[in-house]
Amino acid sequence: MRNLTLSLFSVVLIATIGLGWLFDNLYNQYGSPLQSNQKDNITLLEQVGANIAFSLNKGNNPEEFINNWPKNTTYQLKLTPLSKFPLPTKLIEELKTGQALLLETDDSIDIHFYISGSDQLLILSAAPTNNDDSNHLTGFVLTSLFYIAVLALMLLWLTPLVKRLLALRQAAKTFGEGDLEQRVQVGSIAYISDLETEFNHMAQRIEGLVSDVKLLSSAVSHDLRTPLARIRFGIDTLQEEDDPVLRKRFEQRISENVDEMVELVETLLNYARLDQTMINIDKAAVDFSSLVKNAIKNKATDNIHIEFICPDKKVNVYGDPSYLMILVANLVQNANQYCQDKITIELKETKKSVLLIVSDNGEGIAQEQRQQILKPFIRGKETKDKVKGYGMGLAIVKRILQWHQGEISIANSEKLKGAEFTITLPTLTKDKAV
């Protein structure tokens, strides 16, 4: 859910800070032209008033100039004694230095200038520019646009998320109704891609468990029924037999059938334990090339030639060394059982993965059987009666690969003409090597 959190945080930042900054700039640039015009007009009035004050200060009769000023114009002039105009001392000092004093009311804008020659104030009055309605309308429009933009941005972000969540809900509903092959299509814009991926892994896991239960039930019902029937037949025959030699032979057969049942039960229990230990894998950096060499050494026989091809440098993977040893040992044991006299094991390393290729010169595996033999208690039809076992080796290999995010593919070897198993494991990255 980290992508969802980061994307939500980014959207909130963009919506609040980014859009706020954008609309502030728009308002400052386009929203208050009347205020800008008013400032320009006041500046112009200050210049005009300063010139008039300068002229009145040089003239002999400023009152006559004021009386002759038109009364019906927008701008009015008035003279008043400084002593009758209540002002703080600081403002009076600023006026005497030539600065203008601006006073604004609801009715007018008054600009005051000091006439030093007559110790009077020249007051230039103008009507204020009424722009309140315009400013309110502009602010309302920009505020509305801001909230609309925030809503649009949130909807733009939420729409794919809602669609993905609805698809995930529908997939979960369909899966719960019994369609165990139901999966979620992980899209490119993945706010919840990790959640969708975990759902697919969970669905794959449940489907595998259900399939295993069915296969185990079928295997138990078949493989246990046969030795039980032989044991019952042997006991019935033993009760009727008085010959010591024949009784001993029947007893030996019953014992062998019991051993076969014990072996089958142990196989079932080991597979169940293997499934339960999925959450207890202790992963670390593993020298995979040395591990493969040890597995070959343990499984080597005099009548089978095993050729091992590997890089000169060390090949490392990230995983549990004990389970990786079981994985390689099962592959080598499987090749030993089904080959004629030769096995080739090749180890390769690419930028993203490590490949282990196990080939033999046996009869090979038919295309339609390659996925089936990876399931527990499934063996090749042609070799079912030739090789002893319960068909658990490759099922264990597949399960261990699932724990290590690895893959297995089956083909026929072009060189040896037998079966070829290719194992793919992720390479050891720097962060995992630390």
In the predicted structure, residue 345 carries a pLDDT above the cut 90: yes
Q: Of 61-65, 118-122, 245-249, where does mean pLDDT reach its minimum?
A: 61-65
Q: What is the pLDDT of residue 324?
A: 92
User: If pLDDT is split at 50, 70 and 90, which confidence band does 117 have?
Assistant: confident
Q: Which helix (H) or strand (E) holds 305?
A: strand 305-309
- 159-217 tens-digit pLDDT: 777 788 888 888 888 888 888 888 888 866 656 777 788 888 888 878 877 776 776 67
Q: What is the pLDDT of residue 161?
A: 76
Q: To the nearest 10°, the Cα dihedral for 381, 384, 387, 391?
A: 90
Range 33-126: architecture per CATH: 2-Layer Sandwich (3.30)
In the predicted structure, residue 19 carries a pLDDT above the cut 80: no
Q: Distance (Å, rounded) from C-alpha 316 to C-alpha 349?
A: 9
Q: Distance (Å, rounded) from C-alpha 103 to C-alpha 187?
A: 66
Domain map (residue ranges) of the chain: 2-32+132-176, 33-126, 193-278, 282-433
* Class of CATH domain 193-278: mainly alpha
Q: What is the pLDDT of residue 220?
A: 64
Adjacent-strand bridge partners of 285:
318
Average pLDDT taken over every residue of the chain: 79
Q: What is the pLDDT of residue 169?
A: 85
- 132-172 tens-digit pLDDT: 455 556 666 767 776 777 777 777 777 777 788 888 888 88
- Asked if the 282-433 domain carries CATH number 3.30.565.10, the reply is yes
In the predicted structure, residue 13 carries a pLDDT above the cut 80: no
Decide: 15 and 153 in contact? Cβ < 8 Å: yes
- 383-416 tens-digit pLDDT: 555 556 667 788 888 888 988 889 999 999 989 9
- 320-341 tens-digit pLDDT: 898 899 899 999 988 988 898 8
DSSP letters spanning 150-197: HHHHHHHHHHHHHHHHHHHHHHHHHHHTT-TT------SS-SSHHHHH
Query: What sign for the dihedral angle of Cα 60, 66, 70, 75?
Result: positive
Topology agreement, domain 33-126 and domain 282-433: no
